[in-house]
Amino acid sequence: MSSMSTVEQIDAVRSFNRFYTRRLGLVRGGLVRTPHPLAEARVLYELGHHEALETSALRDALDVDAGQLSRLLTRLESAGLLARERSEGDARRRLIRLTPAGAEAFATLDRRTVEQVGRLLDDLGDVRRARLVSALAEVRAALQDPGPRTVSIRDRLEPGDLGWMVSRHGALYAREYGWDASFETLVAGIAAAFDPERDKAWIAEVDGRRAGCVLCVHHDELTAKLRTLLVEPDARGLGLGGRLVDEVIRHARARGYAELTLWTNDVLTAARRIYERAGFTLTGESPHRAFGHDLVEQTWSLTL
């Protein structure tokens, strides 16, 4: 959960909107030094990318109500930039297309927009430009309807996986539980000790992005340990935690271990429910001071 309140989050979004619209000049009378305000420019853009559109399709593309669209079309038609005509296949339907003057207006808008964005990117340099493009992709992913999500779990580490595991543990546990940097240090030690010859790692991905992880590490000839189970907040509810634990159990059995153990703290209730459903039992607990808090550490085990 974010440390910002809802009011602070709303203020942050509104502040960014004001900054962004000002940066692109969207609050001026006309877009990119043309006589067309943003709403009219959007109509010209949509028609400029299609030979013709039905009124209903244009309304859906712009996400405006019928009255607003009618007023926009009337202004542009009066300016000689578009024409409305009946559909040949259905006289009840109206088609809208750009006139030659409208096509020229669209070409000017398109060219000047490309020039404006190009200048903005040129001013940033390669590193900041890459950051901007990546951040815009993140914003779009956060705002759009995700629809069906592609979920997968891979059992091979790729470059950056262990570093990501350490970083996300440190950031998420600090944000959600207020744990200090000593927890990230602990996870870093676990990652540093990972032995690909004896240990196994799984990375869960949602829509091609890392969204969860877990390790199965060797303790002795009879015992393996489940470690560093994590699921990103925006991927919770997809069953990833249970699937990751199941992968560890299957692997430990296949390798001939007799017991699988894990260490956790009682405040991690969601993880504890996953362990209980998988058949783990609590074998010991005691109060301790760790990561800047008074906690109760727990040991859980599963006979394989």
6-143 CATH fold? Arc Repressor Mutant, subunit A (1.10.10)
Percent of the chain with pLDDT over 90: 56
Which residues, including other chains, have CB under 8 Å from residue 38's CB and lie 6 or more apart? Answer: 26, 31
Query: Predicted confidence band at 89 (pLDDT cuts at 50, 70, 90)?
Result: low
Q: Which residues, 6 or more positions from 8, have their beta carbon under 8 angstroms from its beta carbon?
A: none
In this prediction, residue 282 carries a pLDDT of 97
Q: What is the pTM of this model?
A: 0.61
Question: Does pLDDT of 206 surpass 60?
Answer: yes
pLDDT higher than threshold 70 for residue 70: yes
Q: What residue ranges of the chain are covered by domains with CATH 3.40.630.30?
A: 151-303
Q: How many residues does the chain have?
A: 304
- Is 215 within 8 Å of 190 (Cβ atoms)? yes
Mean confidence (pLDDT) of the chain: 90
Predicted local distance difference test score (pLDDT) of residue 146: 65
Q: Give kind and range of the element (H or E) at residue 168.
A: helix 161-177
Residue 213 · residue 228 · CB < 8 Å: yes
For 117, 177, 248, 264, 301, the CA distances from 239, given in Å and listed in that order, are 41, 22, 15, 20, 21
Rounded percentage of the chain residues whose pLDDT exceeds 70: 95
> Domain spanning 151-303: which CATH class is it, in words?
alpha beta
Across 48-57, 137-146, 172-181, 210-219, least confident range:
137-146
**Radius of gyration over every alpha carbon of the chain, rounded to an integer in angstroms:** 28
